[in-house]
Amino acid sequence: MNRRHFLRSTALTAASASLLPLQESSAAILQENPLCVFNKPLQHLSYDDQAAFIKELGVAGIEGTVRKGGHVEPERVEEDLPRQIEALQKRGLEMTVMTTDVFGAENPLSQRVLKTAAALGVKRFRMGAHKYDYARPIPEQIEEIAKEVAALVAYCRELKILPMYQNHSGAERFGAPLWDLYEVIHSYPPEEMAVAFDIRHATVEGGLSWPTEYHLMRPHFGAVYLKDFVWGEKKPENVPLGTGRVDFPRFLKLLNQSGYTGPISLHMEYISHKDPGLLKESMAAIRLDLNTLREWQSNL
C-alpha cells in the first residue's frame, strides 16, 4: 500500500464513524462565519442532489465552480447558473463564493459570468490564477497586474460583486508569497478587493513565518480557505483536516480573536474529484473534515 492510498484509507475509515447527524455545538461561531463547502469534489452530482447533500451537512452553501471544467461551464452560465442557484435557494442555501477563471474585466465571457452571477445575488467570486514569466522583470509584471486588477475592481463595483484572489503555493504563481499580492490590493477597501486566504498554501510557502503573512493580509480577508497537507518526497500532498502540517489551533484562535465574520470555505482535495467512482468517498471525507472543524470551533 503506497503512502497516498494509506492516508486516504485512514481518512475514510474515520469518516465511516462520522456519518451520524452532525453536531450543532458550534452554532454561534458558524452564524458569525458562514461555512461553505468547495463543490469541486461534488461536480458529478446533479445541482439538485448536490444541494440536498449540502443541506444535510448543515452549512450555509457552496463555493461553486463556474470555470472551464467546472460544475457550470462559463459558456453556459446564463442557462446553468440559474438552475444551480435555484436548487440551492429552495433549500435555504446560497452560492457563498463563486470560483472562476476571471482575471481582467475586458473578456466578454468574463463579463457574462459576472453579470449573470451578480443578477442572481452572488456577492463574491474568486479570481483566476496568474503566473509570472521569469523571462521578464517581476516588478514590471506586478505593475501590469495592478492595472488589470484596477479595471476589474471598477467593473465589479458597478455590479456590487467582490473580486477575491486566492494565495496559491508554487513556482511562478503571483500571490504565492503574499507580499506581491499585498502590493496590488492594499490600497483598496476589503469591500472592493480582497484575498481568499488559504492557510494551507500560506503554510507551504511561509513555513514558520505564516503568522507574518496572516497579519499582513488579515485586514484584506474576503474569505478563508481550510485544508491540510504533509510534505511528500518532492511536493506537498493534501491530507484530512488536522492530520498535516497546518497549525489550525493557532490559526483559528487568531481568526476568532480578530473578529473575522466572513465566509469559511472547506476544501476537501485529498481524494481525486475527476473519478466519479470516488464520489461516495469524497462525500464521506467532506463529512469527516466538517466534523473535525466543528469540534475545533466548539473549543475556541
Write the pLDDT tens digit of every residue in 240-250: 999 999 999 99
As a whole number of angstroms, the distance between CA 179 and CA 191 comes to: 20
Q: Is the pLDDT of residue 274 over 50?
A: yes
Write the pLDDT tens digit of every residue in 6-61: 445 554 554 444 433 333 333 333 457 899 999 999 999 999 999 999 999 999 99
pLDDT confidence of residue 30: 42
Write the pLDDT tens digit of every residue in 211-268: 999 999 999 999 999 999 999 998 999 999 999 999 999 999 899 899 999 999 999 9
Helix ranges, the chain (H): 3-15, 27-32, 47-57, 77-89, 108-119, 138-159, 179-185, 199-206, 210-217, 248-257, 279-298
pLDDT confidence of residue 133: 98
B/e letters for 81-107, b = 16+ CB within 10 Å, e = fewer, are beebbebbeeeebbbbbbbbbbbbbee
Mean pLDDT value of segment 60-65: 98
As a whole number of angstroms, the distance between CA 60 and CA 77 comes to: 22
Mean confidence (pLDDT) of the chain? 91
For 28-298, CATH gives 3.20.20.150
As a whole number of angstroms, the distance between CA 227 and CA 269 comes to: 8
